[in-house]
Amino acid sequence: MEPGFDIVKAGHIEFLVTDLQEARRFYADTLGLVVTETDRSHIYLRGLEDRHHHCLTLTESGAPGVGHLAFRVATEAGLKALEGVVRAKGGYTKWVEAGEEKGQGKALITEDPFGFPVEFYTKMADEEWMLQKFQSYKGAKVMRLDHFNVMLPDVAAAYDWYVKELGFGCTEITETEGLTPDLWAAWLRRKHTCHDIALTTGKGPRVHHAGFTVADRSSIMDAADLLASSGYLRSMERGPGRHGVSNAFFLYLRDPDGNRIELYTGDYVSADPDWVPIRWKLNDPQRQTFWGAPTPASWFNDAMAVRSPKTGKFAELTSPRIKDRPDYLLSAN
Amino acid sequence: MEPGFDIVKAGHIEFLVTDLQEARRFYADTLGLVVTETDRSHIYLRGLEDRHHHCLTLTESGAPGVGHLAFRVATEAGLKALEGVVRAKGGYTKWVEAGEEKGQGKALITEDPFGFPVEFYTKMADEEWMLQKFQSYKGAKVMRLDHFNVMLPDVAAAYDWYVKELGFGCTEITETEGLTPDLWAAWLRRKHTCHDIALTTGKGPRVHHAGFTVADRSSIMDAADLLASSGYLRSMERGPGRHGVSNAFFLYLRDPDGNRIELYTGDYVSADPDWVPIRWKLNDPQRQTFWGAPTPASWFNDAMAVRSPKTGKFAELTSPRIKDRPDYLLSAN
Amino acid sequence: MEPGFDIVKAGHIEFLVTDLQEARRFYADTLGLVVTETDRSHIYLRGLEDRHHHCLTLTESGAPGVGHLAFRVATEAGLKALEGVVRAKGGYTKWVEAGEEKGQGKALITEDPFGFPVEFYTKMADEEWMLQKFQSYKGAKVMRLDHFNVMLPDVAAAYDWYVKELGFGCTEITETEGLTPDLWAAWLRRKHTCHDIALTTGKGPRVHHAGFTVADRSSIMDAADLLASSGYLRSMERGPGRHGVSNAFFLYLRDPDGNRIELYTGDYVSADPDWVPIRWKLNDPQRQTFWGAPTPASWFNDAMAVRSPKTGKFAELTSPRIKDRPDYLLSAN
Amino acid sequence: MEPGFDIVKAGHIEFLVTDLQEARRFYADTLGLVVTETDRSHIYLRGLEDRHHHCLTLTESGAPGVGHLAFRVATEAGLKALEGVVRAKGGYTKWVEAGEEKGQGKALITEDPFGFPVEFYTKMADEEWMLQKFQSYKGAKVMRLDHFNVMLPDVAAAYDWYVKELGFGCTEITETEGLTPDLWAAWLRRKHTCHDIALTTGKGPRVHHAGFTVADRSSIMDAADLLASSGYLRSMERGPGRHGVSNAFFLYLRDPDGNRIELYTGDYVSADPDWVPIRWKLNDPQRQTFWGAPTPASWFNDAMAVRSPKTGKFAELTSPRIKDRPDYLLSAN
């Protein structure tokens, strides 16, 4: 019960992009993420609320996908403890020296038991807080990274890993219908929001999206207008709308390489340690979009490949044993 | 050029409903229209901004549809002049005595040359302005009637009627593709907004929807949340979203009988007499929803039957000579 | 009753500024008005909703103030008719040739019977509509000029001029307390909004402010944040807040020269020709700000000098016979 | 460093009111807090986001003020540990049996070393989550209790108590000017928001206000409109506006007894354990209201008396050694 480490929050994510300048136009010029630093093959970005070096790294690469996702950990001792926990479950680990990832201290890169490239880190260089530099606000006015959403064949096993081994709390779940429902998805948190990571059933390991917080619904509406008149009409995959799960207001976007992010606002504070998970049935039409709008098939079909820190290649995919989408979408296809 | 009458604005509309109490729960209790007066078979409603008796009449009836739509005219002399104009074009006219429609003075009911039941009226009883009685705001906080949208086979002929005979200005049009495009739809105004009436191509005469103004985008988002948790999930047919045409923010609703209204906000001021109509192509994916979201087929298939003031029966329908929807919807069906 | 002219709306205003680049930084770079054209001593700006050349001219000058305010008139014949009306009341008139004011056709400049430099014009060059070019939105996202607010000693006389001679409708008035109240202020309109011009009692002739429409309350909040972090903290003179009169949401700003504008949104449609003016008492604490916040003394003390088209000098000021502010402000000073 | 207890968050507060029905009209009928339970002398209220019995208790009493404020603690063992910590510092403690306060389990009431009636509790009865019952939203749509703001003479000492003994993190501070600045105020948190409690310098012990979260800025604007038209014009003491400290959007209200609450929205996530406190100078004009609007004197003069759990009487007040307000307010008085 005393893990020896304290995971703070979803910290940052590395997106692989095939054209760094196209990606910059999307994330920085249009959505308004702040460029902290660049080099020949990377752009390091942070949100207006961030006080650290980056929450999103864009890395030029031959194919799109996710290089790694990272959780911030309270202490360096915690990183060492995590090394043991990951290895005990058969995961791969490797130390990353301070500065190897720009702005970051010594870190632990792992391939977790489910094949995800997960980094744990403690130190990140301080950067100027732009929260009250309103003259630098633009586009969607992205505040900060909020969460990761990952897709994998066995959510129940990953739930145990995150909750029992890594100490996450569960705020909401989705289960299948029937007498003996399967756990289909789970929303898990360390910081006091709806989630730091969501686990959903599907062919995996893949990252479904990274969620970025914006200030309010108006920011999302304004972003939709802006994208629609800036040549990004086809980037808007789903929304704007209200979620059932999380109660947040959302807009899902595909970047020029097809990588997916969510603009997200208005979930709740989940500080209570005895929080009883909210339960949803997979087929509930209000679960995904509270207003009942159907989710496009691409939302279930497409997700981002993850690059193995062990092999440097994209992870092989496994299909789930149980259905990977609601029945109303199965029948529509 | 001097018509002898001055049409002020879209004034009110009469919806036929099969269950008055169900309709009241939708329009008054949920959407927040203000009940001015009721009798056994009618509910007279007004918006928070209205200073007159009603902008929407609900009339209990064996079948849903539209009893009449009405334009306010500046003077009683204007009504007399309009009688002549309608008759000259072969339309039917009949005088409605003061009080025959509750709250209304002497009026002219017509069946216009296209089969629509159109009333012209001048006097309407004054009622309390609720605009700054914020304690009476609820639901979607409907401010006022904004416009009618009607569907008929020959938009070009109706355009001539409204613009050349009735003195409307044109703010926007939609035309078909090709070298010799057909006029597919037109947005026409008397008051200084985008429109008082829109004419669109389809099987008709039918009324497609009545548009009601709300204060802002937040009101529309709040209305969607409210409807979704009040048993009206299936009432939300299309939106919320941003229109291409009119630039307004919208949500389309079907009442318990299937009658259609629009919650509408944020168009522009069109006071300039030399306004050059904005032109859209029918197949432009941003024309209807600026964010590119496709319009459901029901939006082109369904519209409200109109009751003839001459026969008391619903008007027979005629199909248009030209296509009644964009190509991407034709092929999707 | 048939005036021979048809005033369309408040069209544009010329502000005199002592430093053109400072003024540009305020109006264009910060508030987001669109620069249509510049020359050595002028910047011509329009709003995002405007389809014509300018609604605001900044003219470099030795002292701040107002060069002229202008109403758009439907026809050139109307300009000629207006020349007669102004002269009949002892006003001064002079023709301005097409192009003399950039983008504008032939116009009539007058010094009206109350000493205001009022221009009437018909033609204005067409410009690109930015309304759906959301990528060009910035700052307060100013949509268009809405109204002028002028200060003069005899509001009752000016009311007669605008209503009886120029054909304006009256939407709201403020009167003094007591058995025989004086008309203290009036809100008058040609287009179908709350007003094109407001007349208020005070030392005059002076222009109190020009009101510019923004899309919604969020735009005003965002503008306040932006101004506060862009070195314009002291520019925010009053608000944000809700008006009693007009029901609009507002923020009053002073430009670097002290010229005053209002960011304004959310009034009502006033198309009805029989609109009964809303009546307010001068001492009603909710009249100016519906939430009861007191108005600063500067709001009653300061207004913009007007330059006489006849003499080229600033108009001499006359004090009103009646009090120029509510009692609660008289006693506070 | 291992305290044996884990304070979760600001949990609830008890306001003493002289007229229970007047208080209900304000908090429930107008602001929209949800009534969970009532008895002859109490009303127990919760927010739309709350899943527990109450975050605000109204207790009928001969004089207004605060009965107690309460922090939720993760475990019952933690309550026992807290008893020791409070006693070690000379505080008074007393056990409250389960059910003695409606809906609450066994709890520890204390008079802390600074004279504040602070309760620690663990269990609170579960109640229905109204977050997605949008049909029950009304008024200001209050989501949850966010924080307490207390006034006392020695902020530095209370800072040590909260940070070193109770384990709070510090997000922002205000210090006086000069070479050896005094700590004038501190914002402290357990949950991952800007604060659970703020300590400010003034005559004390008194509670300055309780802050309640609302969904967004629109909710605050709507609340101001509603209060202004519901007979609560004088209840609006300060705002709406943007805070410097916390960056939140706010409106301060006085209830019919003068007790003060804040409607609050839009601060940041403070999960990082190495958060470096944001520093403000007391005289910075943007510290309290980012837009520079001056704070009324009542804000520094008035605060709520606290009732001693030991004596049942209101605590005696001590004045601070250092100034209790910014210089610009000292000179204005």
pLDDT band at C196 (very low <50, low <70, confident <90, very high): very high
More confident residue, B178 or A134: A134
Q: Strand B249-254 to strand B236-242: parallel, antiparallel, or no bridges (unpaired)?
A: antiparallel
Phi, psi values for residue A162, rounded to 5°:
-70, -40
* Token reading at A36: 């902290």
Average pLDDT estimate for D148-167: 98
Between CA D299 and CA D260 the distance in angstroms is 10
Angle at D169 (CA atoms; ends D165, D175), nearest 5 degrees: 100
Show residues of chain C in contact with D215, CB under 8 Å.
none
For residue A264, the distance in angstroms to the closest alpha carbon of chain C comes to 18
Nearest-neighbour CA in chain D from B226: distance (Å): 5
Cβ-based contacts of B225 with chain D (< 8 Å): 134
Residues C229, A136: Cα–Cα separation, whole Å:
10
Whether D232 shows a pLDDT value over 80: the answer reads yes
pLDDT at B1: 39
| Neighbouring subunits of A (3+ Cβ pairs under 8 A) | B, C, D
What b/e string do you get for D261-286 counting C-beta neighbours within 10 Å, with b at 16 or more? bbbbbbbbbbbbeebeebebebeebb
| Nearest chain C CA: its distance from B251 CA (Å) | 18
Please report which residue ranges of chain C form alpha helices under DSSP H: 20-24, 76-88, 155-160, 217-228, 285-288, 298-301, 327-332
Shortest CB distance from D292 goes to which of C236, C249, C285?
Answer: C236
pLDDT given for residue D332 in this prediction: 56
Residue B330: pLDDT band (50, 70, 90) is confident
Interface of C with D in 289-318 (CB under 8 A): 290-293
Cβ-based contacts of B271 with chain C (< 8 Å): 8-9, 190-192
Q: Point out the residue among A218, A224, A293 whose CB comes nearest to the CB of B242.
A: A224
Mutate to test the interface with B, among C9, C53, C192 (most CBs of B within 10 A): C192
Nearest to C135 among A133, A137, A229 (CB): A229
Contact criterion met (CB < 8 Å) for B135 and D222: no
In chain A, the percentage of residues whose pLDDT exceeds 90 is 96
Q: How many CB pairs under 8 A join B and D?
A: 30
Of C221, C229, C290, the CB nearest to D225: C290
CA distance C35 to C138: 13
Contact B56, B145 (CB under 8 A): yes
Residue C317: Cβ within 10 Å count: 17
- State how far the alpha carbon of C94 is from the alpha carbons of A46, B298, C305, in Å: 59, 60, 21
Chain D residues 196-225 with CB within 8 Å of chain B: 216, 218, 222, 225
Residues of D in contact with B226 (CB under 8 A): 134-135, 137
In this prediction, residues A129-139 reach a mean pLDDT of 97
pLDDT computed for residue B333 by the predictor: 47
Alpha carbon of A175: minimum distance to chain D alpha carbons (Å): 19
pLDDT tens-digit readout, D81-125? 999 999 999 999 999 999 999 999 999 999 999 999 999 999 999
Give the DSSP H or E segment for A288: none
Say yes or no for a CB contact (<8 Å) between A269 and D193.
yes
Mean pLDDT of chain C: 96
Take residue D294 and report the two structure tokens written for it. Answer: 């001056």
E strand spans, chain D:
7-17, 34-39, 42-46, 56-60, 65-73, 92-96, 107-111, 117-121, 142-152, 169-175, 183-189, 197-201, 206-214, 236-242, 249-254, 260-265, 278-281, 304-305
Q: Which residues of B are less than 8 Å from C215 in CB distance?
A: 266
The answer to whether C132 contacts B216, with C-beta atoms less than 8 Å apart, is no
- Predicted interface score ipTM higher than 0.90: yes
Residue of D nearest to C287 (CA): D228
Closest partner residue to B221 among A217, A227, A228, by Cβ? A217
Query: Do C134 and A225 make contact, defined as CB atoms within 8 angstroms?
Result: yes
Cβ within 8 Å, pair B222-D134: yes
Using a CB-CB cut-off of 8 Å, the residues of chain C touching D297 are none
Return all residues near C169 (Cβ < 8 A) that are at least 6 apart.
Answer: C163, C188, C189, C190, C270, C273, C275
For residue B104, the model assigns a pLDDT of 98
Query: Which among A272, A152, A149, A274 has a CA at the least distance from the CA of A203?
Result: A152
Q: Which residues, numbered 99 to 158 in chain C, qualify as contacts with chain A under a Cβ-Cβ cut-off of 8 Å?
A: 132-135, 137-138
Q: What are phi and psi of B147, to 5 degrees?
A: -160, 165
Chain C contact set for B51 (CB, 8 A): 272, 275-276
Stretch among B34-38, B132-136, B173-177, C3-7 having the lowest mean pLDDT = C3-7
Q: Using CA atoms, how far apart are residues A219 and A217, in angstroms rounded to an integer?
A: 5
Nearest to D247 among A131, A144, A271 (CB): A131
Q: Which residues of C touch D218 (CB under 8 A)?
A: 217-218
Minimum CA–CA partner of C232 in chain D: D291
State pLDDT tens for residues C143-180: 999 999 999 999 999 999 999 999 999 999 999 998 99
pLDDT of D284 over the 80 cut:
yes
pTM over 0.90: yes
pLDDT band at B136 (very low <50, low <70, confident <90, very high): very high
